Structure 1
């Protein structure tokens, strides 16, 4: 299924039913008094986080969602029935904002989370509500209150622990296929990946983490070159970024210049994302002669002025992947333990 990470919808909760003007008419009972009931409330609109969904594509084809209005009040003290609620299923990680003001309204972060995104209008009052000692036969009633109506923008930011960053053909898809259950398209041409892929990496029994692979960036992505950087939003919730570098580019390009271009684009897009922990992963080491590797790696790190972690791998042969996976899990577990008082325990990183 095509990955769709943005959609615009219109929602309308149901209006409340009108109140009723009615008087009791029964045999042998004169002046029976008012018995007009209240109208029913309008239906609410709920959003539910469904872990089985990973796309917003359904909302591209169904943009208008309306709940039913409440039933009008009736005589004999009968209140109107409430309008039926509607439930919109959305992927976990969906951000709901007001499309007119840009205000963030809701975030669906927990599987099964249920949020009321539009409240149905209350029902109007029937004339029985207006009866008093000085007004024994009221003919007043009120109309139902209108339900909420909103124009919303839905934006999906995938929930992953680790994000892959790099140029097209850096080997991100090969890497995620080598270490996880994901099976992305892999080919020997740029921009093979056209939408984010998620993969679950199993480290041990009940020990795992999620990796997100996004389409590759190129220099000038902030101006719309290539696929732009529209998919960088999916890295905003990750804990650590793996910057994959093609260490043996087929066109003899300079890996250092390519790596610096990616970092520059990342900084242009979001300084907070640029400040995230980032590890350097030198890929395609199988293409470099064994006797040259050490010297070339040292030269790369020196020219990059890199102070962070550096890993050398070949995603194709899986050389070096195992130590990288265990280092990632150890880091994520340490991060989780440090944050445990503030967040609910994650069983993947439990003792």
Structure 2
């Protein structure tokens, strides 16, 4: 981790949300605000459970599935500045920045934008914490789309990218090519000491953080392999292959094509189903019935409810994520997936909305149950 990501101190965790939990406990106080480039489900919940409020400061283009902006994960510097001036820098424990923003369709943040955010944060004395889960993917898009980095290796870009942040949370199940594991990394030794003490309570000893030794070795090897240019080019290329097939068939997806998944635009796919009848959840269920494809809703169900009012959030994006596992599927699998999506799209007019018949208290998209309207 220190070699490729560059942070000084590491606390292993069983997976990314373990790192989010520890981070939230050591940094967030009740009444704090945490700005970020679009929410992520578990990250926001940990922030809220610690008494904080997440504030979205991503650029407006991120909420438009059809915008071709090359870096839709960018932070809107004016939105961020307005928040700081409104609530005060002392009420902002850190800025939460994600690479290849999941909820926006796997969209990257540019190096130039992160550098500008870092400079602004330093002016106010605010930390930046990176969700590094897919930072390698983000480095690939920087290499492909930012002129200054077109001739640099992915490993070099990744290290530079992380240098504009003060720490990170990591779910190793994505970029690091493993089935379990993660970490919290910090440059501040005093914060590291606090995190190391809490790890023993929630995860395991600070030397392994809930992982078995073989899992730690697998992740170390996965980090080495993940930054190889040929690997990440092939990984993203497989996603691009599937996405281009769907675009050629005029099936509505989020563009530009992201790094780890294709995101179907359920609002355009199923315009007859209102958002409060869960069109993306309906589409995900139909894909499973059609061809056994396990997709993930990323819309109103994932967005959850306001902690103040209890009302549903209604995100602009109502998506179904077709995540491509690394080093698992062949081109034939991609073709089958595309054909299944096309079949569902051809028969889309017969689909009806859903109603939620069971809703857990937290993170309902994991356990909620539905039936047809």
Q: What is the TM-score of this pair, normalised by structure 2?
A: 0.26
Q: Which has the higher helix share?
A: 2
Q: Which has the higher contact order (CA 8 A, sep 6+)?
A: 2
Q: Which has the higher strand share?
A: 1
Q: What is the TM-score of this pair, normalised by structure 1?
A: 0.27
